[in-house]
């Protein structure tokens, strides 16, 4: 295979940066974006925060009350997620980035891989100026900063990007890739979770370097052929996965009309459960996980409303949809006097489980 040049772009403190964009006076304050569960005014988790808030050790996923405590005495600003607005900004940036690549693979609302091999004629020197030009254009056109990792494949580009944030530009040339990965803990590799890293630890494998020099046949005996070969290759910075356009729907939704107008939660949930079963089949067929669950409803005065919730972790099961739909409707019904006529359920924020079986198999065959 010809030498490739792959970039991973990851927008900086994305939801919080979007909020700063529409209200620049926030820039000097700690900013925390919260996913409010709605149970009480305080309950919920931190979606993300700007870097000023991070100095006070605020982290994604942390309970909001804890973030509040850490930021006590500061002029911190807490805002709820506004997913639609972030989607719009994301879309505009992705459109600009597309112009810079032969192919672009969006992996989440704030991340995309770009294959720029042809654009920079395979030169890592040129890639640096090229990435800088891309950053400048997005800053000028949209006003959002991002970090970018440049490497010979997706695996190296991703880890390069993570190594320097925010507003980073990190280049790892093919000949530097192995040394670059070697000191990192093994769980930085895609597909090495808690269980696997504990197992590796018991084998004396702590770093990616340890894994790279571990006997591949032993890895195969322990983890099976597909995973064993994958771990061996990944640790040695070998990754032939192409940058693939997804070209897929960004959400899956179903909508239906109730047999009668109602304010009865149980009656509504009968309908939304049917819709959810249907959505869940499509998710399974496409092997997608989702990060957002939304409800849509039309009231008796024909006004339509929607409410959504962002999960802390991607999920793929029906029960998660049903639970969140129930919460969203429960909350909504307590706030309105009108009856509901039509209801809808939507999931979005898709990702695929990684490493995918298919991905690993093709990896195995080509390496
Ligand atoms: N997000 C979330 N819950 C999490 C993690 C992230 O809702 N537990 C959302 C908010 C983030 C967005 O996804 O803005 C992108 O996630 P990143 O992990 O890329 O984090 P940020 O972009 O916020 O920060 P960084 O500058 O570290 O990339
Ligand atoms: Ca980000
Ligand atoms: Ca990200």
Integer CA distances (angstroms), 366 to 144, 189, 238, 352, 357, in order: 38, 19, 11, 21, 14
201 in helix, strand or coil? helix
Cα 112 to averaged position of ligand 3 atoms, centre (Å): 9
Q: Who contacts 159 (Cβ-Cβ below 8 Å, separation ≥6)?
A: 149, 151, 172, 180, 181, 184, 188
**Is the pLDDT at 350 greater than 70, yes or no?**
yes
Is 146 touching ligand 1 by the criterion CB < 6 Å?
no
What is d(CA 159, CA 149) in angstroms, rounded to the nearest whole number?
Answer: 7
Closest ligand relative to 108 C-alpha: 3
Is 86 touching ligand 1 by the criterion CB < 6 Å?
no
Cα 56 to averaged position of ligand 1 atoms, centre (Å): 17
Integer CA distances (angstroms), 66 to 82, 254, 312, in order: 22, 37, 16
Q: Which two tokens stand for residue 271?
A: 């309908």
Active site annotation includes 111: yes
Ligand 3 being an ion, which residues bring their Cβ within 5 A of it?
10, 110-111
Is 312 touching ligand 1 by the criterion CB < 6 Å?
yes
Instruction: Decide the pairing of beta strands 169-171 and 146-151.
Output: parallel
What is d(CA 16, CA 34) in angstroms, rounded to the nearest whole number?
Answer: 10
- What pLDDT score was predicted for residue 355? 42
Query: Mean pLDDT lowest for which of 163-177, 178-192, 215-229, 353-367?
Result: 353-367
What is d(CA 344, CA 348) in angstroms, rounded to the nearest whole number?
Answer: 13
Q: Who contacts 73 (Cβ-Cβ below 8 Å, separation ≥6)?
A: none
Nearest CA to ligand 1 atom 24: 13
What is d(CA 346, CA 276) in angstroms, rounded to the nearest whole number?
Answer: 9
The per-residue pLDDT for range 194-240, each reduced to its tens digit, is: 999 999 999 999 999 999 999 999 999 999 999 999 999 999 999 99
- What pLDDT score was predicted for residue 57? 98
304-325 b/e with 16+ CB inside 10 Å = b?
Answer: eeebbbbbeebbbebebbbebb
Nearest to 323 by CA among 306, 311, 313: 311
Is 173 touching ligand 1 by the criterion CB < 6 Å?
no
Is 49 touching ligand 1 by the criterion CB < 6 Å?
no
Q: Which two tokens stand for residue 339?
A: 């009856």
- What pLDDT score was predicted for residue 286? 77
- Cβ pair 138, 144 in contact under 8 A: yes
- Cβ pair 102, 115 in contact under 8 A: yes
- What pLDDT score was predicted for residue 2? 64
What is d(CA 198, CA 114) in angstroms, rounded to the nearest whole number?
Answer: 33
Report which DSSP code applies to 207.
B
Helices (H), the chain: 14-22, 51-55, 64-70, 83-98, 124-141, 154-162, 177-181, 194-202, 208-213, 216-223, 225-235, 265-286, 318-335, 357-366
Q: Which two tokens stand for residue 79?
A: 């805002």
Ligand 1, residue 165: give the atom nearest the CA: 26
Nearest to 11 by CA among 110, 109, 88, 90: 110
What is d(CA 237, CA 338) in angstroms, rounded to the nearest whole number?
Answer: 59
Q: How many Cβ atoms are within 10 Å of 7's Cβ, its own excluded?
A: 30
The per-residue pLDDT for range 99-124, each reduced to its tens digit, is: 999 999 999 999 999 999 999 999 99
Cα 12 to averaged position of ligand 2 atoms, centre (Å): 5
Closest ligand relative to 48 C-alpha: 1
Cα 233 to averaged position of ligand 3 atoms, centre (Å): 24
**Is the pLDDT at 96 greater than 80, yes or no?**
yes
Which entry of 111, 175, 245, 285 is annotated as an active-site residue? 111
Helices (H), 13-100: 14-22, 51-55, 64-70, 83-98
**Is the pLDDT at 356 greater than 50, yes or no?**
no
Mean pLDDT value across the chain:
92
Nearest to 234 by CA among 158, 156, 157, 180: 156
Model pTM? 0.71
Percent of the chain with pLDDT over 70: 94
- Cβ pair 208, 232 in contact under 8 A: no
């Amino acid at each position: 295979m010809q030498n490739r040049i792959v970039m991973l772009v990851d927008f900086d403190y994305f939801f919080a940066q979007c909020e700063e964009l529409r209200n620049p006076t926030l820039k000097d304050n700690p900013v925390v974006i919260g996913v409010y569960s709605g149970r009480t005014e305080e309950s919920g988790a931190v979606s993300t925060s700007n870097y000023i808030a991070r100095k006070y050790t605020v982290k994604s996923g942390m309970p909001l009350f804890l973030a509040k405590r850490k930021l006590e005495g500061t002029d911190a600003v807490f805002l709820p997620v506004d997913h639609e607005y972030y989607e719009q900004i994301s879309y505009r940036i992705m459109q600009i980035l597309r112009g810079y690549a032969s192919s672009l693979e969006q992996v989440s609302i704030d991340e995309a891989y770009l294959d720029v091999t042809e654009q920079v004629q395979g030169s890592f020197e040129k890639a640096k100026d090229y990435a800088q030009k891309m950053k400048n254009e997005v800053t000028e056109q949209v006003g959002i900063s991002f970090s970018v990792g440049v490497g010979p494949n997706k695996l190296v580009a991703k880890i390069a990007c993570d190594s320097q944030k925010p507003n980073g530009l990190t280049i790892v040339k093919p000949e530097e890739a192995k040394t670059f990965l070697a000191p990192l803990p093994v769980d930085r590799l895609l597909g090495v979770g808690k269980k696997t890293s504990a197992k590796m630890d018991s084998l004396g494998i702590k770093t990616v370097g340890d894994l790279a020099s571990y006997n591949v046949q032993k890895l195969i005996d322990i983890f099976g052929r597909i995973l064993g070969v994958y771990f061996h290759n990944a640790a040695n910075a070998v990754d032939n996965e192409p940058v693939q356009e997804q070209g897929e729907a960004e959400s899956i939704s179903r909508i239906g009309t109730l047999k009668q107008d109602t304010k009865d939660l149980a009656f509504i949930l009968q309908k939304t459960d049917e819709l959810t079963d249907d959505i869940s089949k499509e998710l399974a067929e496409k092997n997608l996980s989702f990060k957002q669950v939304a409800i849509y409803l039309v009231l008796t005065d024909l006004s339509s409303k929607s409410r959504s919730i962002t999960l802390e972790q991607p999920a793929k099961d029906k029960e998660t949809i049903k639970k969140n739909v129930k919460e969203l409707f429960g909350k909504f019904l307590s706030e309105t006097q009108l009856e509901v006529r039509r209801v809808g359920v939507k999931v979005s924020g898709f990702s695929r489980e990684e490493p995918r079986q298919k991905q690993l198999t093709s990896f195995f065959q080509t390496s």
